[in-house]
Chain A
C-alpha cells in the first residue's frame, strides 16, 4: 500500500493534471460560444482568430495586452488573497476607485514635487486609500461578523458616487465632456519603459508583487496560517491561529493591491481621474482568481490569457461588429468548464 512514488513521475502527472483541464475547458468554451457566434450569423474562425491573435500581431496589440494585464493581475490577487482565507472580496472595484481618488488627490495637491517623490506618494496614497476602503467591510466582519460579500459590494456602489463627486465637483476639468479631473503633477507619472507604443513601468512593479504574494502565501508561516484558515477556520482557531485577525488582514491586503491598481491606472495610463476608469477589471479579476482556483502561481498566467481575450474583444467589436460582451460569455464559460473539470476528476 505504502508505495513510494517516483517524484519526477509525480511532477509530470501533476503538469498534465494541472494544465489538461484548462486546455479542455478553453476548447469546450470556444466550441460552445462558437455555436452562439454562428447563430448570430458571424464567421466563427475569423472571430476566434481575432480574439486570440490581436495581441500578438502588432507591437501595439501586445502593449495593450500588457496594459490590461497590470490591473487584471492586481485585481485577481486582491480577490485570491482573501479567498485563501475563505473570504470573498467582491469590492476590488470600489477599492480601485478609491485608491485612484487617493492617488489623484495627492498627485494634484502636491503637483510641484519632483518625479520619484511624488510618484512614491501617489502610489502609497493609492494603497492606503484602498486599504481604508477594504478596512470598512473587514472591520464589520471582525466586529459584527457581517458577511463580507455584501458589504464589499455595497462599498463599490458608494465609491461610484464618490468618484462622480470628485470628478465633477472638486477637481473638475471644465474642458472635458465626461466627468474627469485635472491632471496630476508630471512628477507623479510612472516612467515609461518602452516609449512607442507607450508602456509604463508599472508592469515591473506588478510582476514583483505577484512573486511576493506567491512567496507570502506558499513559503511563510503567516501564509500558512492564511491557507489553514481558509481550509478550516474552526480547526485553525483551535490550533492557535487568530482567524478573525486573518480575515481582517487578508481583506485589507486585498484592498491594498486593488488600491494600488487604481493608483497605477492614474499614474501610468490616465494621469488623471476619469469616471469609469475601473472598466470591468473587478469581474475579470474574480474570473481570473476562480479559474486559477486561488492558486497564486497560476494567477499571473491566467491574467495574461484573459488580457489577451479582452484585447481580442475590443478588436472583435471594431472589425467584425460582434459585441465585445461575447468574450465575456466565453470567459464565464471557461470558468464553468474549469470548475466542471474538478467535478469530473472527483468521480
Chain B
C-alpha cells in the first residue's frame, strides 16, 4: 500500500473518533467537566499557597492551569483506550485488523484522534482560566502549552490502547484514568519542587512528566525559554515511543490470538 493509502486510513480513523463528539456530545462532557471542576476547586482551596515564601507566582490559577489542561488531555487519551476496548468487545476492531492496513497506521489513527480531541477541554479550560485571571502566556507560550497538551494526549492514548489490548474489556477504564491522573499529580502540580514535602519531593524530581508540566507552565508564570521547553518535548517523545511500542506489541499479540 502506498503512503497515500496510509494517510487516508489515518484520516478515516481520526474522522470516526471526531464524529463521536458531534454524535454523542454527552460523552465528551466528563473529559471537560472533571478538569474544570478540579481547576476551579483547587484554585479556590489552595490559592493561598502563593503566600508561601519562594512560591514562583502570585497567581495560583496561572500556576494550576497547565496541570488542568494536561489532566484534560490525560482523560481524553484514556477515553481513547476505553473506546478501543469497547470496539474490541463488540468485534469491530477484529474487522479492522483483518484490513490490509499496517498496524502502526491503525495506532496512529487512534492516537492522533486523541491529540486533536484534547484541544476541546484545553480550549474550554483556557477560556475559563482567562476569565478568572490566568496570565496570558503570550502566543509562543500558548502554542508550546497546546503542543504539549496534544503530546500528552498521545502519551495517554498509547497508555490506554496498551491496556485495552492487554485486558480487552472496558472494565480496565479506571486503570487507564487513574494511571494518567497519578502521573500528572505526582509532579510539581500543587507547588514548586522546593516547596513539596516528603516522598513527593523525590518522586516529582524523577517523574518525567514533571518536565512536561514545567514546559507547559513556563509561559503562564514567567517567560518562555528553549532550555525549559526541550526537556518536556524530549520526555513526551520518549514516553510516546515506549508506550507506542507496547501498544503495537499488544496489537500484534491480538492478531496472533
Q: Do A and B come from one complex?
A: no
